[in-house]
A = this chain, B = another copy of it.
Amino acid sequence: MEGLATRIAPMMSMGVQDFQGWMAAAQEEAEAALAAALPAATTLPHRLHSAMRYAALGGGKRMRPLLVFAAGEISAAPRAALRTAAVAVELVHAYSLTHDDLPAMDDDKLRRGRPTCHIEYDEATALLVGDALQTLAFECLANIPGLPPERALKLVSLLARASGSLGMAGGQAIDLAAVGRKTLDQPELELMHAMKTGALIRAATRMGACCGDALAAEEEASLDCFAKRIGLLFQVVDDMLDCTASTATLGKTAGKDAAAGKPTYVSLMGLAATREYAETLRASALAALKPFGARAARLAALADFIQQRQF
Query: Which residues of A are at the interface with B, using a C-beta cutoff of 8 A?
Result: 39, 43-45, 47-49, 52, 95-96, 99, 102, 104-105, 122-125, 127-128, 130-132, 134-136, 138-139, 141-143, 148-150, 152-154, 156-157, 159-161, 163-166, 169-170, 172-174, 176-177
Contacts and interface: CB of A to CB of B under 8 A. Distances in A.
B127 A165 contact: no
A131 B134 contact: yes
Contacts of A131: 95-96, 99, 130-131, 134, 169
Contacts of A165: 39, 45, 48-49, 52, 128, 132, 135-136
Identical chains bound together, number = 2
A135 B154 CA distance: 14
Nearest to A159: B138
Contacts of A132: 164-165, 169-170
Given A48-B169, A132-B165, A142-B157, 20 more contacts: A39-B166, A44-B170, A48-B173, A49-B165, A99-B127, A102-B104, A104-B122, A128-B165, A131-B131, A131-B134, A134-B134, A134-B135, A135-B160, A136-B160, A136-B165, A139-B160, A142-B160, A148-B149, A153-B153, A156-B156
A161 to B, nearest CB: 6
A204 to B, nearest CB: 16
